[in-house]
Structure 1
Amino acid sequence: MEIIDLFKQLLSFPSITPDDAGSLEFIKEYLEDYEALWFNKEGVKNLILYKKFGEGEHLCFAGHVDVVPPGEGWNSDPFEPIEKDGYIYARGAQDMKSGVAAFVQAAKETKEFNGTLSLLLTSDEEGDAKWGTRYALQELKRMGMIPDYAIVAEPTCEKEFGDAIKIGRRGSVNGVIEKIGKQGHAAYPEKAINPIHKVAQVLPHMAGVDLDEGDEFFAPSKFVITDIRAGMEVTNVTPGKLKMMFNVRNNTKTTMQDIERFVHKYFDGMNYSLQLSQSAKPFITDPDSKIVKLIDKAIQKVTGITPKHSTAGGTSDARFLAEYGVKTIEFGVKNDTIHAPNERVHKDEVVNLYRVFLEVIESF
């Protein structure tokens, strides 16, 4: 099977999170000479395929077969890939069955490798991600099989294929502040404690403020207020409580403790509570590491482009790999139609992505 045929086959599986729709069993059978491990829990399937070629280091390709629901506005069946003007249209075309097809085909064609080559595939990346890659890595650690390097084939390119890789990601900290006041009549403000008035005094010092200066790889960690609500939607009652929600996409210079201190600095003396949760931790892979240099050279060889090193965007399963000390990068096709109706990718990008991955394996 050629790379584009494999890609179209994967697109035909209606694998909406967390249902793999049979795609993982298909990949397992396609790579029949690889050892298979299944780590399934709570309706999520995780498949590890590995082959020990030699005694060298362990390189892992990671990705997800699940996709978001198609939604409305499609010009064709989202799970029947069609080709038009060189583009292939289907849900998951960019995010991220193109990446999965590319590394599956590269793994199938690999005959020699100085070490262990593996694939980590999950059906729960677009969902809660609780029982997906995170759970699979826990099991791999228990078995002593954590890889040395990983390439996550998420779509990373911006304007043209090959122009960007991700060598790190920002973390994400969510916060909820509840400011307690004293409800009262709007005509008698002196008898009430209006939490809106109290919070309004500190907002100019908090909203949109950079918590650090960033660095050459990361933008500053910014305090972004996402919701404020209080009161009963009437004009003659001042509220007794205000709730404010915020998010900080933090780099490696700002921790959850730093954010807690920042909030307390401005809410000190107020009657308030704070809840913080971290859904992702920031990470950075040394740009001089082996895996970054290898992917750079492979992209240059295939496309003639020198990719920029980025940490922009949301989160991905790369964060879980990085927590185990795996030197992790991300590289895939362009990401201009991900999660949108009529998601598409140019077939040349898929072919070149496969060629890049094959080059990395051969030069590893």
Structure 2
Amino acid sequence: MSRTLTLAEQLISRPSVTPEDAGCLDMLVARLEPLGFHCERLDSGPDGFRVSNLWAKRPAALDPSAPEAIKTIAFAGHTDVVPTGPLEQWSSAPFTPTHRNGRLYGRGASDMKTSIAAFVVAVEEFLAAQPDPRIAIALLLTSDEEGPSVDGTKVVVDRLKARGEAVDWCIVGEPTSVQRTGDMVKNGRRGTLSGRLTVRGIQGHIAYPQLARNPIHQAVPALAELAATVWDQGNAFFPPTSWQMSNIHGGTGATNVIPGAVVIDFNFRFSTESTADGLKQRVHSLLDRHDLEYDLVWTLGGQPFLTTPGTLMDAVQQAISDETGLATELSTTGGTSDGRFIAQLCPQVIEVGPPNATIHKIDEHIVVADIEPLKNIYRRTLENLNALQAGNAQGAA
């Protein structure tokens, strides 16, 4: 059994339902410190919802002639997992790593404890072969990715920004693949902007509509126009921005009462062709044009980010090709990730991980044959970046 698989099983066996870490970070620190990593805990959050955060960094071999040329690559991930759901529906205990038909079952097997195990073992193998690399290596790990994402990666990024600590490249281990490890990576994510719209009317008896004002009737034309609006056309990397309603609530429960208000929850997933402020302005303008009496509360969940072709993308694509023979597909689809926070600090962020078909599901699992290629992709990426930096240093000399 490979060292990556062993570590993945050890992590899966810890019931780290968000925001709990269940000792995962302590286990990883014990692996990283002997490799020369300085491990810094940056835990955050109130009592009862304390989030575990780790920033671990190993310096590069300094070039006395050009220390400013040292680059840092960070691996980012989360030790927390979503709740299991009904235990009786699992074929095996979710926190007991179990093998069936060439698959490893357990909560977090795909999202994303296997990726973390692959990070660590890839770094161990790389440093065994390159004890004095020309790149600095870091890991940013949190137990608040599946939860509110308030006291996790965002806190660490804010701390690093405040002290002027740079990260040049980042690989997030989210499960990005479809059929085989490496067939798809995320080179960006859409932004997310949510709104809670309350349209106010006048409550009254349904038999006397002339004495009331029905907010549902008033809201419907505006909602129809919002649903039909083309917000942008997207671009070569992003699909067009979408607007979707998720909840509508109005009424007292009685069938003979016109309600006094209706509440609509909606969400934008927006491309880099739009801005949060621009979308807000367009929505308010449309609602005002429909002469609605309303309140609207906005929540910006994350800005879009995009990594265009460059050093990190080249290194990752070459690593995937060399390991699997696949020409990986670049994508910005799917939900949000902590990459949205890291992109505020790091100019090149790419998400690379195992297939995502079973994430958050009952009987979450990963194909065992996907595990070693994932670790090797991470290790090969380190090798590619290190070779590039060594070549740059030699060329400068």
Q: Is the 8 A contact 2:55 2:141 kept in 1?
A: yes
Corresponding residue for 1:2? Answer: 3
Cα pair distance change 1:208/1:331, threshold 3 Å: farther
Partner of 2:388: none
Tell whether 2:53 aligns with 1:46: yes
Q: Please give the secondary structure, in 2, of the residue aligned with 1:352.
A: helix
In the alignment, which residue of structure 2 is the partner of 1:183?
A: 203
**In structure 1, what is the equivalent of residue 332 of structure 2?**
311
Query: 1:105 maps to which residue?
Result: 121
Q: CA deviation at 1:160?
A: 2.2
Query: Are 1:201 and 2:221 counterparts?
Result: yes
The answer to whether the 8 A contact 1:231-1:240 is kept is: yes
Q: Tell me which amino acid in the other structure corresponds to 1:41.
A: S
CA deviations 1:71-101 (Å, max 9, x no partner) are 2211111111111221111110000011101
CA shift for structure 1 position 223: 1.4
Match of 1:219 among 239, 263, 272: 239
Aligned partner of 2:108 among 88, 92, 96:
92
Query: Which residue in the other structure is 1:70 paired with?
Result: 84
Quote the Cα distance in structure 2 between the aligned partners of 1:260 and 1:6: 46
Which of 255, 273, 279 is the matching residue for 1:235?
255
Cα deviation for residue 197 of structure 1 reads: 1.5
The 5 A counterparts of 1:252-267 are: 252-267=272-287
Is 1:21 the equivalent of 2:22? yes
2:173 maps to: 153
Q: Which amino acid aligns with 1:327?
A: Q
**Aligned counterpart in structure 1 of residue 342 of structure 2, from 314, 321, 343:** 321
Q: Residue 171 of structure 1 contacts residue 249 of structure 1 at CA under 8 Å; is this kept in 2?
A: yes
Q: CA–CA distance in 2 between the matches of 1:77 and 1:159?
A: 25
Please give the TM-score of this superposition, normalised by the length of structure 2: 0.88
SS at match of 1:249: strand
- Percent of pairs with identical residues: 37
Deviation at 1:190, TM superposition (A): 1.9
d(CA) in 2 for partners of 1:10, 1:203: 46
Look up the match of 2:393: none
Cα shift readout 1:297-346 (whole Å, capped 9, x = no counterpart): 10011010011110000011111100124310000000000011111101
Task: State the distance in 2 between where 1:237 and 1:3 align.
Answer: 62
Q: How does 1:54-65 map to 2 (within 5 A)?
A: 54-55=61-62, 56-65=70-79
Q: TM-score, normalised by structure 1?
A: 0.96
CA contact (8 A) 1:208 1:222 kept: no
Matched AA of 1:57: K
Q: Say if 1:103 and 1:357, in contact at 8 Å, map to a contact too.
A: yes
Equivalent residues of 2:167, 2:345 under 8 A apart: no
Deviation at 1:236, TM superposition (A): 2.3
Distance 2:287 2:80 in 1: 42
CA apart distance, 1:230:
1.6
The alignment partner of 2:240 has SS state of coil
**What is the aligned partner in structure 2 of residue 351 from structure 1?**
372
- Which whole-Å deviations, capped at 9, do the CAs of 1:251-289 have from their partners, x for residues lacking one? 112222222222223321221121111011111111x21
SS in 2 for 1:323: coil
User: Which stretch of structure 1 is more off in the superposition, 263-272 or 68-77?
Assistant: 263-272
Query: Is the helix fraction higher in 1 or 2?
Result: 2
Aligned with 1:172: secondary structure? strand
**5 Å matches for 1:327-346?**
327-346=348-367
Offset of residue 29 of structure 1: 0.7
Taking the aligned partners of 2:76 and 2:207, their CA distance within structure 1 comes to 62
- Tell me, in whole angstroms, the C-alpha distance in 1 between the residues paired with 2:246 and 2:271: 19
Correspondence for 2:293: 271
> Distance in 2 between the 1:146 and 1:29 partners?
25
Distance 2:228 2:244 in 1: 5
Unaligned runs of 5+ in 2: 63-69, 386-397
- 1:36–1:325 Cα change, 3 Å: closer
Deviation for aligned residue 1:58: 0.4
Alpha-carbon distance in structure 1 between the residues aligned to 2:53 and 2:250:
43
| CA distance 1:208–1:82, shift in 2 (3 Å) | farther
- Is the 2:316–2:377 contact (alpha carbons within 8 Å) kept by the matching residues of 1? yes
Q: Name the amino acid aligned to 1:233.
A: G
- Give secondary structure in 2 for the equivalent of 1:258: helix
Matches within 5 A, 1:109-124: 109-111=125-127, 112=130, 113-124=133-144
Matched residues in 1 for 2:163 and 2:61: separation? Answer: 19
For 1:151, the aligned partner's letter is: I
Q: Is the 8 A contact 2:358 2:364 kept in 1?
A: yes
Q: Which stretches in structure 1 are left out of the alignment for 5+ residues?
A: none
